[in-house]
Structure 1
């Protein structure tokens, strides 16, 4: 795929404006997606919440197969798969709507996500016609359960260093030997997507391996901090005989398959944070309205309102970024299909193109989710420390969100690595943007507009200029060694994360206005709250970044850029938070 020929490109948010006409907001949800939402909500209520205490115990692992099969009967497992194999071929943004719904399923959410995102997806996207016809229909029906066997005891983030081996026999079939760790769904899986190096290859290859092939031993269930109802085990492969037809994709291309598959998981993880976050806010709101102290409900206190407002604004921001990305992927997939790419290739390449944004929504979503859950526990006070608190188990379980699908540290490094790579290859004209900012760095700063949208458009543009300048200066100083300067790289990534989220929030406000569904008072409150938090976080990142240089003189250009571009247009954030909190409590 030659990305230079594409109209829709990943990473361009930093250096060029986004067309509002093609921007998608969740308020424009399709009727089909609404129907799936209603079906998913009913399933969660009847199958999970009605027996929640049991569903969060290790014993619940054994009912997973039955529930996944029910999901198959309801059509939940093949939303992204073409109709040819029994799927629904829904748009990616509609799939993300459904993901936010099913994220409220506690431990079962994990088991379901493994089946669809990293079980069915790699077979559908990379499998030969033989593999698709043999496995896909049964996987979509929930008759064959899957697991994704990539991680090893000494190969986590550095997946390609895995030691699992596949040796060839005279007929070209494989024998796999090795050990995998922290494999989700391992205890209930019928087939494994296994990553191993063939003979002395430098890179991994991928295989579809049936448990029925023999030679597979499943270790005991891991004792985890949370998600007790979701199977996680070690898996041992001893002379497992795998037919040559079960090679997934091409030899030596397994790592790409793994990483591209994880891109899907990262986006869906960001979407999951929306559903879980909303559930936490609902619980916290209800408790705050019931709990009385000093003669009044704690929901009337400014400190509690401050928490509820920030929690809600973060959800608004995650939604804005996630559905923006989902729609961009849909647009690119259509574009690639029109250019003649096969269905599967178009999906693979559209996901791959937006690897920067995928990492952004994973990092921001998981960290915002952690903030929301932590604040929810705080609203409960002492009751939040009790196992009877309705979000106590979520507090423990969802800590994994910043670790799986690539740790947030790895994802921050992915963001800057991909951004630099696209710039070096000419796919992003970062140098022209840098040259423009470099020439204007000493110009006087303009005053911010009084119009809310124009004001925050100026603020966003200033932050983009700051990020372009900082990236350019650090690249000039460190060149190819920037990747080794991980502290600096991660601070730059934080700038990109915050800018993407802020711009997504601003674009959503503009789209709401365009569609005549803007609640000016409440939506502007969300924008003001998020913009201030972005300002605070970027201020901290810039100060950390400047402190990474040996002397103030060496960091002088960064200090100049900070002082010029990092100016926040004043708003009374306290009153904005109170306004939004009162709306939530109404």
Structure 2
């Protein structure tokens, strides 16, 4: 591996080939007093305004979601990520990440909130003209306008560029006339403003700002959905809908830049909201397990239940470690761009684009951590979990959408590797050199020198994970260059490597956080953080070996396969851990605290 990084040197995807130091990352335990006060304000709003209205939100009664957005606006919470010049608070990335985490338990309302402040507002900030920003952003920030984002169509989902909605210039040249339909549009029922993508003359994919009262714009009925029933989801139809030419967003034919860049930030925010919801869910599981008596004792005393509670916490903690690591990297990169003359919006856009690989990883791991947590929370509740009397059933249903929107988890897995390889081909990321070093290491005798120092075995495991990913990905890329493999038609291989990459990123992020906590005063004893780290790396080692084996066996054979499998075995040698005891240590802390206490 290359030399250890300085604090601002880590570029997008470089975690694969460069080592970071604990002192160079940011962890949530470092949030300052002002940030914690903002979190408390958000939590107060959650408990005083959102959760008491859960039933109204669920049934979309009393115009509740738009009214809650207006109340959030009065507190400044719709503009925390927006420039002060438009009425925003212009808070740093870490504080905005914390706000997302605090709002996570809001269930379906998080969809209304995220669609408005994210994909509804960011395209204007990132790509709007000064006139468009001045006209719309202040009113979106103060809650006067609510936003929606219209990308998906009946024939185009993940393949967004296959959209059929047309925008044809009117005879007088003043308007584009829209014809087509959009589906699965969050906030459609109450939105005043739509970010819409259409093809000018049927081929130039372009973004537009479309106002609700435009002639010919109509809505379908509210969709009947599995979950997030409290969020408005409708189809939007356009029939000769006139949109002023000055409402073109960005450059004609460059709508894909708007769509994809807005999604980078959306994926990151989705992870924060997912983890906040997961923490709330595991707390309900812990409290129910402590209250539920069977065979004369609380079910929280049973090993099978303790396993579930501990594993829920481990998945949350590891993903959260990666989330705040990326949050701070984005903030540092944003500051760097601003120092070089970029505007606030340009800097935010470029920072999110820089860490697009990490955003895709976070979207996948955050949504899947939440899915695991709500599933096991329902299981801990038993029959009561299956009943609509409690919150477990609704949380279970609401969580499922997160693996689908903002790009399905399958698409995001494919994207993470595709973007990594594209960066390498452009010379922005040198993975060829490190991959070659791994190949040379495989041809040499293994070193029997033992690592020394704090977390020596874990540090070696993470370094070896990097070598395993480089070996598998490098071998596949080499065969593709030789014309012996077409990775475009081998999605299973890419998915294997993507999961290896995710495990590596979370393992390193968790290690760095735990190592940093060793020099701080954490919420619990250091032994508990150590237990989380050991269990995660123990399990990640097994997954790394399985995914690597599956990938290698898919494209290699004979001596090449045997050599690489031996290399994979060398790079997945973390010592076996007594995970039963380690999980029980963690569960004991959660049960004693009667909540998620990390």
8 Å CA contact 2:375, 2:396 repeated in 1: yes
2:213 matched to 1:212?
yes
2: CA distance, partners of 1:446 / 1:210:
67
2:113 matched to 1:112?
yes
Moved more, 549-558 or 327-336: 549-558
Cα distance, 1:528 vs structure 2: 1.1
Cα distance, 1:58 vs structure 2: 3.7
2: CA distance, partners of 1:386 / 1:84:
49
Counterpart of 1:500?
505
Counterpart of 2:533?
527
Cα distance, 1:121 vs structure 2: 1.2
Counterpart of 1:78?
79
2:274 matched to 1:273?
yes
1: CA distance, partners of 2:363 / 2:138:
30
Taking the TM superposition and a 5 Å limit, the aligned residue runs for 1:245-284 are 245-284=246-285
1: CA distance, partners of 2:73 / 2:275:
24
2: CA distance, partners of 1:168 / 1:8:
46
Counterpart of 2:489?
484
Moved more, 534-543 or 424-433: 534-543
8 Å CA contact 2:360, 2:416 repeated in 1: yes
Counterpart of 2:16?
14
2:542 matched to 1:513?
no
Counterpart of 2:161?
160
1: CA distance, partners of 2:25 / 2:258:
29
Q: CA RMSD in A?
A: 1.6
Cα distance, 1:414 vs structure 2: 0.3
Counterpart of 2:550?
544
Moved more, 188-197 or 437-446: 437-446
Cα distance, 1:497 vs structure 2: 0.6
Q: Are residues 450 and 373 of structure 1, via their aligned partners in 2, closer, same or farther at CA, if it must alter by over 3 Å?
A: farther
Can you give the 5+ residue segments of structure 1 that lack an aligned partner in the other structure? 1-5
Listed one character per residue, the Cα deviations across residues 393-423 of structure 1 (whole Å, up to 9, x for unaligned) are: 0101110110010000000010010000011
Taking the TM superposition and a 5 Å limit, the aligned residue runs for 1:24-35 are 24-35=26-37
Counterpart of 1:562?
568
2:155 matched to 1:150?
no
Cα distance, 1:256 vs structure 2: 1.1
Cα distance, 1:52 vs structure 2: 2.1
8 Å CA contact 1:205, 1:253 repeated in 2: yes
8 Å CA contact 1:146, 1:185 repeated in 2: yes
2:412 matched to 1:416?
no
Cα distance, 1:573 vs structure 2: 1.0
8 Å CA contact 2:147, 2:191 repeated in 1: yes
8 Å CA contact 1:11, 1:419 repeated in 2: yes
Q: Secondary structure at the match of 1:545?
A: helix
Q: Secondary structure at the match of 1:555?
A: helix
Q: Are residues 367 and 340 of structure 1, via their aligned partners in 2, closer, same or farther at CA, if it must alter by over 3 Å?
A: same
Cα distance, 1:126 vs structure 2: 1.2
Cα distance, 1:353 vs structure 2: 0.8
Cα distance, 1:448 vs structure 2: 5.3
Counterpart of 2:397?
396
Moved more, 530-539 or 429-438: 530-539
Q: Secondary structure at the match of 2:455?
A: helix
Cα distance, 1:447 vs structure 2: 6.0
Q: Secondary structure at the match of 2:149?
A: strand
1: CA distance, partners of 2:447 / 2:60:
60
2: CA distance, partners of 1:376 / 1:257:
38
Taking the TM superposition and a 5 Å limit, the aligned residue runs for 1:46-57 are 46-57=48-59
Cα distance, 1:139 vs structure 2: 0.4
Q: Secondary structure at the match of 2:268?
A: helix
Cα distance, 1:173 vs structure 2: 2.6
Moved more, 165-174 or 351-360: 165-174
2:69 matched to 1:64?
no
Q: Secondary structure at the match of 1:204?
A: strand
Q: Secondary structure at the match of 1:213?
A: coil
1: CA distance, partners of 2:215 / 2:530:
60
Counterpart of 2:44?
42
Taking the TM superposition and a 5 Å limit, the aligned residue runs for 1:117-266 are 117-169=118-170, 170-201=172-203, 203-266=204-267
Counterpart of 2:465?
463
Moved more, 486-495 or 544-553: 544-553
1: CA distance, partners of 2:312 / 2:218:
44
Paired residues, number: 579
Moved more, 16-25 or 283-292: 16-25
Q: Secondary structure at the match of 1:446?
A: coil
Q: Are residues 399 and 90 of structure 1, via their aligned partners in 2, closer, same or farther at CA, if it must alter by over 3 Å?
A: same
Cα distance, 1:516 vs structure 2: 5.0
8 Å CA contact 1:546, 1:558 repeated in 2: yes
Counterpart of 1:573?
579
Moved more, 526-535 or 50-59: 50-59
**TM score, norm. by length of structure 2:** 0.94
8 Å CA contact 2:465, 2:572 repeated in 1: yes
Q: Are residues 359 and 574 of structure 1, via their aligned partners in 2, closer, same or farther at CA, if it must alter by over 3 Å?
A: same
Can you give the 5+ residue segments of structure 2 that lack an aligned partner in the other structure? 1-7, 593-598
2: CA distance, partners of 1:196 / 1:237:
11
8 Å CA contact 2:264, 2:360 repeated in 1: yes
Cα distance, 1:295 vs structure 2: 2.0
8 Å CA contact 2:164, 2:180 repeated in 1: yes
Moved more, 284-293 or 443-452: 443-452
Counterpart of 1:3?
none
8 Å CA contact 1:33, 1:98 repeated in 2: no
Counterpart of 1:355?
356
Q: Are residues 311 and 12 of structure 1, via their aligned partners in 2, closer, same or farther at CA, if it must alter by over 3 Å?
A: same
Q: Secondary structure at the match of 2:61?
A: helix
Cα distance, 1:519 vs structure 2: 3.0
2: CA distance, partners of 1:271 / 1:32:
19
Listed one character per residue, the Cα deviations across residues 506-529 of structure 1 (whole Å, up to 9, x for unaligned) are: 111122224454832111011112
8 Å CA contact 1:130, 1:245 repeated in 2: no
1: CA distance, partners of 2:30 / 2:552:
42
